Chain A
Amino acid sequence: MARIEFQDESAVVIIGSGAGGGTLAHELTRRGIKVVVLEAGKRQSTETFSQVPGEAFLQLTWLDARTQSGDWGVAKNFPTLPAWHCKTVGGTTVHWTAATPRFEPWELRAKSTYGNIPGASLIDWPISYVELKTYYTLAERRLGVTRRNGEPGMPASNNFKVMYAGAKKLGYKRVHTGHMAINSRARDGRGMCIQQGFCVQGCKMGAKWSTLYTEIPRAEATGNLDLRIESTATRIEHGENGRVNAVLYRDAQSREQRQRARIVCIAGNGVETPRLLLLSDSSKFPQGLANSAGQVGRNYCHQIIGFAWGIFDKPVYSWRGATLAGVIEDEVKNDPSRGFVGGYRMELCTLDLPTLPLVGLPYGWGRDFASIIDNYRNMAGMLINGEDMPRAENRITLNRDVKDGFGLPVANVHVDEHPNDRAMRKHAQTQMSRVYESIGAKRVVLGPTTPATHNTCSARMSADPREGVANAWGQTHDIPNLFISDGSAMSTPGAANPTLTIVALALRQAEFISREMKAQKI
């Protein structure tokens, strides 16, 4: 691993080591570019992953204080945890469930497709599907996505058999074990999935793609990566010319350090990325960096998420097997006759016993609540993954009344649901219930909206600089050597789980950065 001097002005500094930051780090270092990655979390491994559910949550999750507001269910049900993502080397690719669908072509043209939706701040992506497709293919090869490029599908689990039978009863056509970044056979130096059902706790087989044990070690092997763990970026500095030139961070001993930089790329997940831009305000940029249009933190999206549990009179043992390996894709379409625009997936899901009553079930206690858990063996599960509407006022802001461990204002997450979100959720819940009822479920229980893992669009790419933070390359409109390199840059959330798109954008951004560096443009 490289040791890059604090004063070295030639380095690219990437903040975050997840799907966006980890991939970008590998892509730049293999092109011979010196990279410093600042990762706030510690480094775990397949050996150190805890397989005790509550302990694993504490080991991997970003738990620093945040506040929230708005009328969404998360504010009521999980007041101290608006978002559920990781703080560890590999970022959220450590606890993700590895579903890797692509956006549909029309989803990239959300504004044109859905029209003028009152109360929504929709835009079209500044990238066409044809252009993105090239990078989707590269990303799918990199991740070993099943059902693409000749990779076999995942074998059907018990939980999927239930979903499949119900879906077919309803006449759904696009139902399969999913496009998953999980090895259905040994490949790329990693073993195959042994159906542990502990995807969220970190895959001890390494069968699930994570930058922790793919992109990061490969970047280290180039000799061009300086990965600094337990290093929390607190401010990005700029020079007289308005270009960024250094990142201030706190190291493991809480000491302040300053790393000089030629280019800074932020990949801290959809809440921390805009927070860092806002924390970096200066006399030249009083609203924070890249925020001349006032768009930083706005249009925050999280996707419509919610569980459905079907209770049967025979065992399912839903916890056995890859957590999310199954999908119904027929509702990924724009059909306003359903009462809403945009689409949603129904994805297989299950929760371990300790987590189910805390996260998967609606608030409750008493006989009825306990009777649901009594049926744990006989429960099948799935969740909605749907496109939510961006809104200008759904945003990440600084809460100056609450400070983190370094005395800095924490992020506030504000979400007021759009009527479209509610209509979609209702439709999806009805359909999920019908899937289970059609094959004889005794009861269907609908779960709450959980803390958001798909935090996106809060520093979005836009063709018009007034409508977003970055251009089609994730390069901020205001500052040419400052990049957004995670899901924050997505223009709209779509109905696809975001990781594949984040990786595709990172691959594309790496080409751009390396080209522009060579041309001495940045």
Chain B
Amino acid sequence: MTELITLNRRDLLKTTTGILTGWVVAGTPLALIAPARAWAVNLAAFTSSEGAALMRMARTIAPHDKLDDAAYALVIQAVDADAGKNASTLKMVKEGLASLGADFAASSEDERVEALKKIESSAFFQTMRVKTLQVLYSNPIAYAYFGYEGEAFSKGGYLFRGFNDLRWLPEVPAKDSGPLPARA
């Protein structure tokens, strides 16, 4: 979330052509880490309706119903940044969206899947697929949602924070395991 907010402030200085906004849903993992309830992502390369269509596309590629829109907005922000830097990417995405039609964002999931299957081999779809996977699962919102705890060195590793706390299976006998150090 911090990255969202920071990026927005910087981007406000530039010309904004579109905007994605949302509310953090109370009770979700994101609500615990988000500094504010409302979020907004300004788009430089895409219009609001293009941004909304890309959001639906990302949600169709990696549908996690309870994962907050803010996580998907980060994907769109990344695509927007790429398109802002590279004219051919911008063209590819705009043309790809146009080929999906104006109704894409409002259509049912089955219809969206059907539409995306038809363009699955296109550079547009593959770019969006890879970008979605790269960005969606590598930010604090996703970490909180999927329960991933990430970097551990700064917290002393997982040695005393649950690396062996599984109790629903038998313990491994000492001969096939190794000694645990005493807690300092």
Contact = CB atoms under 8 A, between A and B. Distances in A.
DSSP majority for the A interface?
loop
A353 B146 contact: yes
B151 interface: yes
Contacts of B137: 353-354, 356-357, 373
A184 interface: yes
Contacts of A52: 138, 151
B162 A317 contact: yes
A370 B130 CA distance: 14
Contact of B146 (A320, A376, A439): A376
A156 B171 contact: yes
Of B63, B133, B169, most A-chain CB atoms within 10 Å: B169
A370 B142 CA distance: 13
Interface residues of B, number: 46
B96 to A, nearest CB: 15
Nearest to B60: A366
Interface string A164-199: 110000000001110000001100000011111110
B27 interface: no
A165 B170 contact: yes
Contacts of B159: 193-195
Contacts of A22: none
B163 A353 contact: no
Contacts of B172: 156, 160-161, 164, 177
B101 interface: no
Interface stretch (A27-35, A146-154, A298-306, A409-417): A146-154
Contacts of A512: none
Interface stretch (B32-40, B42-50, B176-184): B176-184
Contacts of B63: 366-367, 370
Interface string B155-176: 0111101111110111110011
DSSP majority for the B interface?
loop
Contacts of B113: 366
A205 B153 contact: yes
Nearest to A204: B153
A119 interface: no
Contacts of B149: 317, 319-320
A156 B175 CA distance: 11
Interface string B52-67: 0000000011111000
A233 B163 CA distance: 43
Given A185-B181, A197-B152, A198-B152, A373 B165 contact: no
Contact of A175 (B61, B147, B176, B178): B176
B62 A370 contact: yes
A82 interface: no
Contacts of A185: 179, 181
A365 to B, nearest CB: 4
Contacts of B138: 52-54, 353-354
A370 B64 contact: yes
Interface string A203-232: 011000000000000000000000000000
Of B60, B166, B177, B181, most A-chain CB atoms within 10 Å: B166
Contacts of B94: none
Given A164-B172, A198-B153, A365-B61, A153 B178 contact: yes
Contacts of B147: 315, 317, 376-377
B57 to A, nearest CB: 10
Interface in A369-423: 369-370, 373-374, 376-377
B169 A162 contact: yes
Interface in A290-342: 314-317, 319-321
Of B146, B151, B163, most A-chain CB atoms within 10 Å: B163
A153 B176 contact: yes
Nearest to B120: A365
A356 B149 CA distance: 14
Contact of A376 (B116, B148, B171, B179): B148
A162 B157 contact: no
A156 B161 contact: no
B143 interface: yes
B24 to A, nearest CB: 20
A369 B62 contact: yes
B176 A197 contact: no
A23 interface: no
A396 B141 CA distance: 43
A51 interface: yes
B150 to A, nearest CB: 7
Of A161, A176, A192, A369, most B-chain CB atoms within 10 Å: A161
Nearest to A367: B63
B17 interface: no
Contacts of B129: 365
A126 interface: no
Given A195-B157, A358-B133, A177 B178 contact: yes
A317 B148 CA distance: 8
Of B130, B161, B165, B168, most A-chain CB atoms within 10 Å: B168
A124 interface: no
Contacts of B180: 155
A158 interface: yes
A157 interface: yes
B163 to A, nearest CB: 4
B134 A353 contact: no
A164 B173 CA distance: 10
A321 B164 contact: yes
Interface in B74-127: 113, 116
A511 interface: no
21 contacts: A153-B176, A155-B177, A156-B171, A157-B164, A158-B163, A194-B156, A195-B152, A196-B153, A198-B153, A205-B153, A317-B162, A317-B165, A319-B148, A320-B149, A353-B142, A354-B134, A356-B137, A358-B134, A373-B146, A377-B146, A377-B147
Given A161-B164, A195-B163, 17 more contacts: A51-B150, A51-B151, A54-B134, A152-B178, A156-B164, A165-B169, A175-B176, A177-B176, A184-B178, A193-B159, A194-B153, A195-B158, A353-B137, A366-B60, A370-B64, A373-B137, A374-B146
